[in-house]
Amino acid sequence: MTGQVYLDFNATAPAKPEVVDALARIMGEGGNASSVHATGREARRHVEEARAAVAALVGAAADSVIFTASGTESNNQALRCAGRDRVIASTIEHESVHLARNDAVLAPVTSAGLVDLGALEEALAAEATPALVSVMFANNETGIIQPVAEIAALAHRFGALVHCDAVQAAGKVALDMGALGVDFMTISAHKLAGPQGVGALMVRDRATVVRFVHGGGQERGLRAGTENVSGIAGFGMAASLAHEALGEFAGLAVLRDDLEHRVREIAPDITVIGAGEARLPNTAKFATPGLSSEIQVMGLDLAGIAISAGSACSAGKVEAPYVLTAMGIADELATCAIRVSLGWSTTADHIDAFVDAWRGVCERVRGRAVSAAE
């Protein structure tokens, strides 16, 4: 991690030391998990131990886990390889869902950022052909949590399969794939302090999906390519650590709420997106009229604070974030929104540093002093 105060955990969570140690050790061992000699068998052991740990994190069966190279690849496999011609996705899904199936019917969300269940039911009933419904557990920009179990029950009434992108939720809140009733679930290692370049797709019934990457017979024939043994092992280590620390992670809501309270004192006209809704405990998304996202991100970066305007996959874009637009937030406010996301290394001192730096940005841009309390 750099010397910055890092508050961009929703983009990527810096790997925990235990994960780094596991990666280095297992990379040094070498071995191909498909080889039958002793070194290969040891590599296979690492993969299968990680498979069990990843499954346990989300309440899934170990044999449901397909290791991939990213959450994006997992989403693509679910959306493109489940044999469903009709796909229904919410308007706030990650781009890896929207672009995987650009023929999808888009289900709107309410002003609270929740899937409109009435509109979803209408979309499901519009055609007799069973669909695949894709809805994220928690939004990557706002942290707002969807009623996934209710959505899954509704979709199954119409014979639909249900895919849940849980990339932002895994390791932050308790997940139980069985209790949610979803057929597919996507998670990614680097969002829970594991290595980048490793993801997983959990499949309740392996008969409902075919391979996306073609070649050898790895991952029981559902994902070809030599396994990234060290990366997968690091994923398993991160999943185990995250599972153990769910209660500790929930405590980040105290720091998040303090941050939101203090920025409201500085600028009472800010809008906190998702306030009052169930959210991830680490995510604050707020917009300040007249204070552009770009200026805030750059100003804070110069002050040694790392935050973002939204999804890291959309970096460099200046148009209004589509998630906020889908919620009915006007462009002039949406383009003033920033995301502050906390994580395993965040402390109260980091919140203090953010608030002080953000106050400075406000004062410079608004051309007047803003007090700590008005």
The span from the CA of 180 to the CA of 175, in Å, is 8
Residue indicated by tokens 């995987």: 100
pLDDT at 306: 98
Helix (H) or strand (E) holding 305: strand 305-306
The span from the CA of 278 to the CA of 85, in Å, is 33
The span from the CA of 90 to the CA of 76, in Å, is 16
The span from the CA of 220 to the CA of 227, in Å, is 12
pLDDT at 372: 43
pLDDT at 343: 98
∠ CA 312-318-94, nearest 5°, is 40
Radius of gyration of the chain (CA): 21
pLDDT at 319: 64
**Predicted confidence (pLDDT) per residue in 138-179, tens digit:** 999 999 999 999 999 999 999 999 999 999 999 999 999 999
The span from the CA of 94 to the CA of 188, in Å, is 13
pLDDT at 103: 95
373 pLDDT above the threshold of 60? no
Q: What is the mean pLDDT of the segment spanning 251-265? A: 98
The span from the CA of 86 to the CA of 368, in Å, is 54
Pairing of strands 86-90, 105-107: parallel
346: CB partners within 8 A, 6+ apart: 7, 9, 252, 255, 282
Decide: 323 and 89 in contact? Cβ < 8 Å: no
Q: What is the mean pLDDT of the segment spanning 245-252? A: 98
Domains of the chain in start order, with CATH, are 5-13+248-366 (3.90.1150.10), 17-244 (3.40.640.10)
pLDDT at 3: 78
Q: What is the mean pLDDT of the segment spanning 218-237? A: 96
161-165: strand order across its sheet: 65-68, 199-203, 184-188, 161-165, 131-134, 86-90, 105-107
Q: What is the mean pLDDT of the segment spanning 230-242? A: 98
The span from the CA of 350 to the CA of 358, in Å, is 12
**Predicted confidence (pLDDT) per residue in 182-212, tens digit:** 999 999 999 999 999 999 999 999 999 999 9
pLDDT at 311: 58
| Identity of the residue numbered 51 | R
pLDDT at 366: 80
Residue indicated by tokens 């939204």: 310
**Predicted confidence (pLDDT) per residue in 33-52, tens digit:** 999 999 999 999 999 999 99
Three-class SS state of 271: strand
pLDDT at 84: 97
Three-class SS state of 175: coil
The distance between the two most distant Cα atoms of the chain, rounded to a whole number of Å, is 71
Buried b (16+ CB within 10 A) or exposed e, 43-77: bbebbebbbbbbbebbebeeebbbbbbbbbbbbbb
Residue indicated by tokens 């750059």: 298
pLDDT at 318: 52
Q: What is the mean pLDDT of the segment spanning 78-100? A: 97
pLDDT at 320: 78
Active-site annotation holds for 362: no
The span from the CA of 293 to the CA of 358, in Å, is 12
pLDDT at 371: 47
pLDDT, mean over the chain: 94
Decide: 224 and 310 in contact? Cβ < 8 Å: no
310 pLDDT above the threshold of 90? no
Pairing of strands 105-107, 337-341: unpaired
Residue indicated by tokens 């970096």: 315
* Token digits of residue 65: 């886990």
% of residues, the chain, pLDDT over 90: 93
